[in-house]
Structure 1
């Protein structure tokens, strides 16, 4: 109805004008929110349905929740899992293996490296110091 008289406006400009007029009427207490919703549903049924659908959907989680894995002392961990336990990178563990001074590891096959969880805990306990003079 109003759109036919304002045919030279783009759809976006027309929608902006309708919202602006509705807001002015609401502020003047000539329209209430329920009446505005009814008008919007009549003029823009697909937009109203889309908004209702969005509001009922559960919000997406931004990060994946993971529970801390509990390992047994004899569990054999890959370098990636061992690095996660120690808070290091897998590359740092590889450097430790090459240069020495890191946690004990097991070489099972040609390139298969594993770490016992108990050895990782012992490595952590070995690094506990009370002050900087104990290095």
Structure 2
């Protein structure tokens, strides 16, 4: 994501596999020393020696001294824009609406449940418009 290129190169699957398993990756010359340091810590072969997410977030190259910013839930307007985009990509609106309604109630022990206010707002947003609309 930093370079817009894959980190490993190989002319055959076997060559590519060997490079991945040996940790030999391409590091463009234009990367800063801090970026190179972070990549080295993230690409360490031994999982026990590899940087943790917490140490990555605190790395100087990432520049997030207070950690990750809080995650905001999308607004209904953002849901509508996303739905419009997905419909343009060929996904049926009915399938999107069904998935959104199913996502309100995740399986027990998985994720957060919507609050009653969020659920009610989502149901209103998913209702067909106008009298007699199906």
Q: TM-score range by the shorter chain?
A: under 0.3
Question: TM-score, structure 2 length as denominator?
Answer: 0.28
Structure 1 or 2: larger helix share? 1
Higher relative contact order (CA 8 A, sep 6+): 1
